[in-house]
Every structure is written in C-alpha cells, then in structure tokens.
C-alpha cells in the first residue's frame, strides 16, 4: 500500500499558522442553523409514547425532585445522577469550548486514566433549542462501536449541567494539522479519507446520518489514526429527514433548500472534506454564511489544475447537486465510493484493523495526559459543576424538559 506512505516534506515539517486564522475558521464553522423539529407524524407519535413512558419514571422520583428544587442553599452534590459522578474525576484543563459548554481533560481517581469530559449547560441547550440534538448525540455515541469513532463511557448530570465521559484522544484535531500543513499531499489525504469513509459507511449501516463532517470533528489518536467525534447533529433516520443543521461550508444543497434529505448529505460533505484536504480551502467558502449558501445552491466549483484526473472524477461525482448522480446515493450505495479508482490501492481490511502505517504520528507522550496538540483556553474559575439546590430551572416546574433529559441518565 505504498501510495499511502507519507510525504515527509509536507507533514513532518509543519509551519505554524496564526491563531487568528484558526479562530476565524472555527467561528465560521460553528454557525449552526435552525432548531430541530419533529419531522414526521410518525416521529410525533413516537415522541408522545416516549413521554408517557418517561412520565411514570418522573412521578416515581417526584419527591426527590421537589426537595432539590426547594432547597434554600447551594451545595456541592456528592451524588450527581448517573453511572458516574464528578467525584469520580479530577478535572484538569480545558481542551475546547463551544456554544453550550466546555470539554475538559479529566482523570479518573479509580484507574488513573485520562478522559475527555464534555459539559453542556442545560440553560443554553434549552434556549438554543438543541434538546433533541443533545439526546441524539448521547444515543448515537452509545450505539456506535467502531475503531474510527470516539467511544463514550457514560453520562451524568447535576441541576445545571450535563456531562459526557469519552476517550481522550491526544493527537488533536485534523483541522490543526491541515492548517499547519496548508494542504495534504494526495497519499496523505487518501489515507485520512479512507478511514473517514469506513466510519461513515458504518454509521449508515446503522441508519445514522452524521450531518457535521469537517476536519474539526476528526481527531487523531496517539498513532495517527482518526476518531470521528461530536455527534451533536447525528440522527437515526431510516428514510428522509428535514432539519436544517450543520456547518455552512459543508452543508449539502438539498439541506440549504430545506428539501427532504437522507444519507446522501454525508457523501456531499465527504467530497468537501477531500477537496479541503487537497487544496487547503473549501470550494464554496465566503465570510458571510448566506453567501456561502448561495454558492452551494449555485454549485459552481473551480478545481485547481494540480488535482489529478482520478481525484477530480471522484470529487465531481460526490459534490454534485443531482442526487441521481451522487456517489454513495446510487444503487450500489457506499460500494460505489469504495470501488472508485482513487481508492484502488487501499486494502480496506488492513485499514479497518489499523494495520496500515499512518502518515503522521503526533509528537506526544501517551498515557500521561499530554495536551500539547490542543490550544490553550482561559480557564473558568467559577465553574458551577456539582451544584444542587436552588438555581435549577429545569426541575418540577418544567416537566417537558425533564422528560427529555431523564433519558440521559445511565
């Protein structure tokens, strides 16, 4: 599999890029559009049935909920609800921040292992109408078990926050490596694309649409293999769905046009990802999201002259508005992508077993909580984790919210 060998000049010798440019990209790429809605009558009926079942659980726990809500004093709760609790972990430094909270490096006080602790503030999740997406993220991560998908170990909550405990992936984001390298040589881009393909193919077999594929959501482990992360927009869909969500540069035209869509949107995003890895930019980018959407609907792409014919052919068959022509959405499904000439050197069985040498091995010390591949973020000295008592607006008085979130308890 020699074509997947690294180009040392472009990967081993990395030039730092300004933090301003990375921050600008991250700000642009984290514009999420439109709250989720119940998308079919069938989903509405399923939702009602789930609420009836969960209501019984809430009624059984009503007395304890009332006592927490009526307390006059805040205190650190040693029994946060769920399989795990804050007392099981030592919170270290911040690995990333987002609209709903932070991701922390945390160490288990029991086994000494390092984990990523994702925190979500309930108030922000509700105000931004992301309750359904948050529940979906937990459910999808619990369902998915794959070498190239991040593993979630458990969840718990207190009166103000939700917590997800996941593997800590030390190598950082593929986005950071791409920005330092400017663009990847073809063999390197092919390696990462092939591993991403296997992750997406697996999710589609489970009827899961990922809906937010981009370099920021691809982590590199200690050996340089990928881990797909952030399932906030993943959804289990057997037919079609309608929700407008995603990241502007990567959203498929049928999503922008608010048409019903299916797994085909992930293959569009897969094409955009390959394009960006090979060129260093996305084909429809504009500083203004609305202009980006216009460019996507227009569908015109100028391909660089240095792209070889086989990759040009693949990109033109993935980044195509006509769903009857888009690879991955045709009769043979994902096999059409896997069997494309650009991937002809890939030995898929060896790749899945991680038996292929990676083009880049992150310069880290494994197993000691090395955070050298992550940016520094200002630490919040007033973390409201583990607080119970007053200040919980999502107890008895907002039963619909509680019904949603009872499912987050292990």
118 labelled as ligand-binding? Answer: yes
Closest CA to 295 of 256, 266, 241, 328: 256
Q: What is the dihedral of CA 31, 24, 9, 303, to 10 degrees?
A: 60
Active-site residue, 212 included:
yes
**Active site residue: 212, 230, 266, 392, which one?**
212
**Catalytic site residues?**
212
Q: Which residues are annotated as a binding site for ATP?
A: 118
């Amino acid at each position: 599999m020699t074509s997947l060998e690294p180009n040392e000049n472009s990967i081993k010798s990395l030039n730092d890029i300004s933090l301003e440019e990375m921050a600008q990209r991250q700000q642009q790429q984290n514009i999420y559009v439109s709250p989720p809605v119940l998308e079919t009558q069938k989903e509405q009926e399923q939702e009602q049935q789930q609420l009836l079942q969960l209501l019984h659980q809430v009624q059984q726990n009503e007395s304890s909920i009332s006592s927490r809500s009526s307390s006059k004093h805040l205190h650190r709760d040693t029994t946060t609800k769920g399989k795990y609790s804050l007392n099981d972990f030592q919170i270290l430094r911040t690995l990333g921040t987002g609209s709903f909270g932070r991701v922390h490096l945390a160490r288990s006080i029991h086994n000494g292992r390092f984990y990523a602790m994702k925190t979500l503030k309930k108030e922000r999740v509700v105000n931004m109408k992301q309750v359904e997406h948050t529940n979906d993220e937990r459910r999808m991560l619990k369902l998915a078990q794959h070498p190239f998908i991040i593993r979630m170990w458990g969840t718990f909550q207190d009166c103000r926050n939700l917590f997800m405990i996941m593997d800590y992936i030390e190598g950082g984001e593929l986005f950071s490596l791409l920005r330092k390298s400017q663009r990847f040589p073809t063999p390197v881009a092919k390696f990462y694309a092939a591993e991403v393909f296997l992750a997406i193919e697996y999710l589609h077999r489970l009827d899961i649409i990922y809906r937010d594929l981009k370099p920021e959501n691809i982590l590199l482990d200690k050996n340089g293999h990928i881990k797909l992360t952030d399932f906030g927009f993943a959804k289990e869909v057997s037919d079609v769905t309608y929700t407008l969500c995603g990241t502007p540069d990567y959203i498929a035209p049928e999503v922008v046009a608010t048409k019903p869509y299916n797994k085909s949107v992930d293959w569009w995003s897969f094409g955009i990802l390959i394009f960006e890895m090979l060129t260093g930019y996305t084909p429809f980018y504009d500083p203004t999201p609305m202009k980006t959407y216009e460019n996507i609907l227009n569908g015109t792409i100028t391909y660089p002259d240095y792209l070889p014919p086989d990759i040009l052919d693949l990109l033109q068959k993935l980044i195509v508005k006509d769903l009857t022509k888009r690879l991955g959405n045709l009769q043979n499904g994902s096999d059409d992508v896997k069997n494309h000439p650009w991937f002809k050197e890939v030995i898929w069985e060896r790749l899945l077993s991680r038996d292929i040498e990676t083009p880049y091995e992150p310069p880290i010390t494994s197993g000691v909580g090395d955070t050298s591949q992550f940016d520094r973020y200002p630490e919040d000295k007033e973390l409201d984790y583990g607080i119970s008592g007053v200040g919980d607006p999502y107890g008895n008085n907002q039963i619909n919210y509680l019904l949603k979130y009872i499912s987050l308890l292990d």
